[in-house]
Structure 1
Amino acid sequence: MQLLKALWALAGAAICCFLIFVIHSQFLKEGQLAAGTCEIVTLDRDSSQPRRTIARQTARCACKKGQIAGTTRARPACVDARIIKTKQWCEMLPCLEGEGCDLLINKSGWTCTQPGGRIKTTTVGHLSFYSSSASLSLQFTEK
Structure 2
Amino acid sequence: MQCVRPLWGLTAAAVCILLLLLLHCHMLREGQLSAGACEVVTLDRDSQPRRTIARQTARCACRRGQIAGTTRAQPACVDVRIVRSRQWCDMSPCLDHEGCDLLQNSSGWTCTQPGGRVKTTTVS
Q: Please classify the TM superposition score into its range, dividing by the shorter chain length.
A: 0.7 to 0.9
Question: TM (normalized to structure 2)?
Answer: 0.78
In the alignment, the residues of structure 1 paired with residue 59 and residue 122 of structure 2 have an alpha-carbon distance, to the nearest angstrom, of 17
1:51 aligns with 2:50: yes
Deviant stretches of 4+, over 3 Å: 21-24
Greater RCO, CA 8 A, separation 6+: 1
Q: 1:29 to 1:99 in 2, by over 3 A?
A: closer
What is the DSSP-based 3-state SS (H/G/I as helix, E as strand, rest coil) of the residue aligned with 2:64? coil
Superposed displacement of residue 99, structure 1: 0.4
The alpha-carbon deviation at position 102 of structure 1 amounts to 0.2
1:102 corresponds to 2:116: no
In terms of fraction of residues, the more helix-rich structure is 2
> Considering only aligned residues, what root-mean-square deviation do their CA atoms show, in Å?
1.9
Corresponding position of 1:84 = 83
| Structure index of larger Rg | 2
Q: Describe the shift of the 1:27–1:50 C-alpha distance in structure 2 as closer, same or farther (beyond 3 A).
A: closer
Alignment length, in residue pairs?
A: 104
Question: Who is 2:7 aligned against?
Answer: none
Q: Structure 1, residues 32-61: CA drift from partner, whole Å, max 9, x if none?
A: 1111100111100000x2111000001110
Shift of 1:26: 5.3
**In structure 1, what is the equivalent of residue 36 of structure 2?**
36
Change (3 A) 1:50 1:73: same
Structure 1 unaligned spans of 5+: 1-20, 126-143
